[in-house]
Structures are given as structure tokens and as C-alpha cells.
Amino acid sequence: MGMTTPTVRLYNTFTRAKEELRPVGAGVVRIYSCGPTVYRYVHVGNLRTFMLPDLLCRSLEYLGYQTEQVMNITDVGHLTDDTFDRGEDKMLVSARLENKSPEQIAAYYTAAFMDDAAKLNLNRAAHYPHASQYIPQMIDLIGALIARGHAYEVGGTVYYDIASFPAYGKLSRNTTDKLLAGVRGEVDPRKRHPGDFTLWKAAGAHRLQVWPSPWGPGFPGWHIECSAMSMSLLGDRFDIHTGGADNVFPHHEAEIAQSEGVTGHQVVGCWMHGGLLMLAGARMAKSAGNFFRLSELDEQGFDPLAFRFLALQARYRTKLNFSTEGLAGADRALRNLRERVADWSTDENNVDSGDAEVAPYENRFRAALADDLDMPAAMALVARLTHSDLSPAAKASRLVSWDQVLGLDLDRARPAATLPDGAPALLEARGKARAAKDFAMSDRLRDELAGLGVTVTDTAEGQRWRVAKPRP
């Protein structure tokens, strides 16, 4: 097919512009993504943010790149906050009441996160580092920051000295004045600047997780974990860092100050941030109690991938309003699309369209991906292809191919919904017979299948089948 390879442009929050992707390591794009905090279940807002690196990796791979993704698991710090969020789930409360260890709590919610991610067809990252396993690396970074004059210790607690890093505030476009105005609550009077953030905190009384350090027993701040894990696994120059829009400040601003403070050079090529998922005009948040879990939607009868379909209809950077009506619409559209793919795959008059007719669709799909992951444009193309006069076979094969990026299981309805009773077992038996080179048996099974109206052909990829539509 006359395919073109478009230049990939991604929106960089740091420069507020779309920039051409130029991977540091030829051919491999290295990506670090802020992951979940595992003392509670993730909600679909969190999952929207985690879908960004999934779409990014799938798109880049579709366009011929290799990717290496790291997503961290935050199992330190937040885990032992002394106050519970409002609307805290019973599991954590019961875990506390049952005297579970932070490790047990983290293991439970990490597994729950992996389940949700799998339900949403999020491809697995190459690495899922746990913050608790990187304490020595964090301590090293903090030591280096003190040595370089970017941090200071007071009474066993280490703060980052934001005045020592003139670029502090650049990512979030915060000025020191605004930072000052943004400081709420009581400020530790030992801080040089109220905006100085914690790198290491001396352990208070009721802490469950405490590590020894050169500054005494304590635990790391939240931001330092991502500097430590990203640079440990991807090196001190990597291509893309993702997170939610709410991570820009303070989390990623602090990460830049830390990583660049230690290395003396730019570490992250491109900062990508996903827009927030809203519910009735407010940010979906665990602490406010206004959230849905993917499994709740599942229990209500929605296909979990309907949420994926919904998310694909908005650009990743824009806010997206969640509603069950919207989800219901996405669910219907998704099921409908799968049925069409099934019908088209088994159409009787299945002649493929010529490459020349298909190529423009393929090229526009690729161009949409390359344009800062323009999924609404890609989904519009799905609709356009659906209503085009391409052959059914061409439509089905394009959609199944695009599904490598969309991840909607578009071919799910194909075998089950269309093969007559008994045919799947015969196909399976015939596949085995062929593998065992029992051609007499395989021919007999082919005849049996033909009797059920299923035509089988053998291709390099294995058996292909078609079902004749019953005559009216």
C-alpha cells in the first residue's frame, strides 16, 4: 500500500508548542509515566490519564517506532498519611482495622490497578518500579542536591531550595510571587522560602514506613521518587514524561528542579499532560467522593471498553466531562461497530478493494496519530470508512488494523456471533489436524464445516473462514 510515514509532533507543556519527536536513542522512544498511588482503588479519571501513555506507545509502534515505557507505583508516603480522605473506601479502613501492613495494602491495590488496566486494554509497560524499592537512589539524589547547593537540612528534614534553581516555575509558568500566594496553611518557619518543598521528612510518631538516612530516620517526599525511578531506569536523558494536568505543579515542576539540579542538564525531552476527567463540572476526585470505578460501570452492564471509546472521542489534552448517558452512547456505538466488523468479515461477496482506494484512509489515520495523537480525527475516520464505498473486506481489515491503536476489541464479535453452532470446535479440530499433518482428517472436517455453511481456506497465517449468509 502506498503508505506515507508522517512526522510525529507532540505537544510539549514546557514550550507550549507541538514539537517534532526526535528520540534520543535511535528508533526507541523512552517514556516515563506517573502511575497510581496504591492505597486505594483507581477511578476512571486516573485511568484516563494512564490511557495517554498507552495511546502514545500504540500510536508510535503503529508508526514504526519501538517504545520503552516505565510506569511507577507509588507505595510510599501518601500511603501512611495520618488523615484519611473523605469517602475513604472500606478496604483501607478495614485493612487498618485488621492491622495490615503497608506492603499488604500496596500489593492489594496494585493488583486491583493491574486488573482495571487490563480491562481497559492498557498495554503493559516494560517496567513498574515500586517507590519503596528505590529509597537508596532517592537518598543519593538528595545527597547530591545538598552537595550542589540546591537543598538544605533542618532537624532531619531536607528541603529543596527553590531560589537556587532559577528555572523553577517555568513548566507551570508560576512566578515566585504566585508561588508565595499559593502557599496555604502553616509553613515550617525553618524553610528559607515558603515554596521550598520536602525531599526527605524526619519521621513523626505514628509512621509505619521509616527508613534510615544520613539525616536520620524518615521517608522521602513524593516528587523525588519520580526523579529517582525515571533516571535509574531510563537514564538522565529520555524522550517523554507523561502525567495528568494536575501533576504539572507541583509534582513535575519539582521533578525538573531535582533532576536538572543533580545532572546540570535537561533530562526530559517532552512533557505531555492529559486533561482531567470531570463529573458534573467538577474534577473527578477520590477526596471529593465524586468518582466512578471501572468495575462499577462494568457491574452496571457497560463494556469497560466503552469508557475507552468515550475517551477516544476527545483530544487527550482537553477536559472531558463524564456522564453515564455519554457512556451509554459510547457503549452502543462500540457494540454496533463490532457487529459491522463481524458482518463485513463474513460477507459473501468479499472482494478486497484495491490498495489505491484504501491508501488515502490509511494515510489519514497515520497523519491523525502523528498530529499529537488526534484521536477524535482518527475516530472520525473510522466513521467515514464505515460509510465509504470500500468493499466490506477492506473495511473490516482496516478497522482490525487500526484497532492495534484504538484497542477497542473491534473483532470481538467476529467468531462467536457469526459461526454456527459446532463450527468453532470443528475449526479448532481441523487446525490441530493440519498441525499434525493429518490431511485426510483435515479434509473431512472441511467438508463437515461446508455442510454448516462455513467455507475454509488455508493461508500462511492459518485457516480463514467465511459464513454464507442464509438465503431469505
- Binding residues for ligand AMP, rule: CB under 6 A, are 34, 36-37, 45-46, 48-49, 243-244, 246-247, 276-277, 283-285
Closest CA to 167 of 14, 269, 273: 14
Q: Is 328 helix (H, G, I), strand (E, B) or coil?
A: helix
d(CA 330, CA 312): 10
Closest CA to 317 of 363, 377, 258, 372: 372
Footprint of Zn ion (CB under 5 A): 34, 226
Least distance to ligand AMP, CB of residue 49, Å: 4
Cβ neighbours of residue 15 closer than 8 Å, sequence gap 6 or more:
none
Least distance to Zn ion, CB of residue 403, Å: 30
Q: Exposed (0-12), middle (13-18) or buried (19+): which is 289, by Cβ within 10 Å?
A: exposed
Instruction: Give whichever of 71 and 456 is closer to ligand AMP, judged by the CB atom.
Output: 71
Instruction: Give whichever of 37 and 259 is closer to ligand AMP, judged by the CB atom.
Output: 37
SS3 sequence, 206-221? CCCCCECCCCCCEEEC
d(CA 49, CA 33): 9
Instruction: Give whichever of 247 and 345 is closer to ligand AMP, judged by the CB atom.
Output: 247
User: Which partner in ligand AMP, Zn ion, none is near 226 (CB below 5 to 8 A by kind)?
Assistant: Zn ion
d(CA 320, CA 372): 17
- Which residue's CB comes closest to ligand AMP? 244
Least distance to ligand AMP, CB of residue 109, Å: 10
User: Which partner in Zn ion, ligand AMP, none is near 466 (CB below 5 to 8 A by kind)?
Assistant: none
User: Which partner in ligand AMP, Zn ion, none is near 221 (CB below 5 to 8 A by kind)?
Assistant: none
Least distance to ligand AMP, CB of residue 200, Å: 20
Instruction: Give whichever of 34 and 257 is closer to Zn ion, judged by the CB atom.
Output: 34
d(CA 311, CA 298): 16
User: Which partner in Zn ion, ligand AMP, none is near 45 (CB below 5 to 8 A by kind)?
Assistant: ligand AMP
Instruction: Give whichever of 196 and 225 is closer to Zn ion, judged by the CB atom.
Output: 225
Q: Is 25 helix (H, G, I), strand (E, B) or coil?
A: strand
Least distance to ligand AMP, CB of residue 380, Å: 23
d(CA 291, CA 114): 19
User: Which partner in Zn ion, ligand AMP, none is near 284 (CB below 5 to 8 A by kind)?
Assistant: ligand AMP
Least distance to ligand AMP, CB of residue 459, Å: 43
Least distance to Zn ion, CB of residue 253, Å: 11
d(CA 29, CA 52): 15
* DSSP label of 285: B
Q: Which amino acid makes up residue 440? A: A
Instruction: Give whichever of 159 and 322 is closer to ligand AMP, judged by the CB atom.
Output: 322
Least distance to ligand AMP, CB of residue 236, Å: 22
Q: Are 51 and 120 in contact (CB under 8 A)?
A: yes
Which residues, listed in sequence order, are joined to residue 33 by a DSSP beta bridge? Answer: 71, 242
Instruction: Give whichever of 141 and 226 is closer to Zn ion, judged by the CB atom.
Output: 226
Instruction: Give whichever of 229 and 330 is closer to Zn ion, judged by the CB atom.
Output: 229
d(CA 198, CA 159): 5
Instruction: Give whichever of 200 and 361 is closer to Zn ion, judged by the CB atom.
Output: 200
Least distance to ligand AMP, CB of residue 198, Å: 16
Least distance to ligand AMP, CB of residue 294, Å: 13
DSSP string, 145-214: HHHTTSEEEETTEEEE-GGG-TTTTTTTT--HHHHHHH--S---TT-SSTT--EEEEE--TT-S--B--T
Dihedral angle sign, alpha carbons of residues 429, 432, 436, 439: positive
Instruction: Give whichever of 196 and 225 is closer to ligand AMP, judged by the CB atom.
Output: 225
User: Which partner in Zn ion, ligand AMP, none is near 244 (CB below 5 to 8 A by kind)?
Assistant: ligand AMP
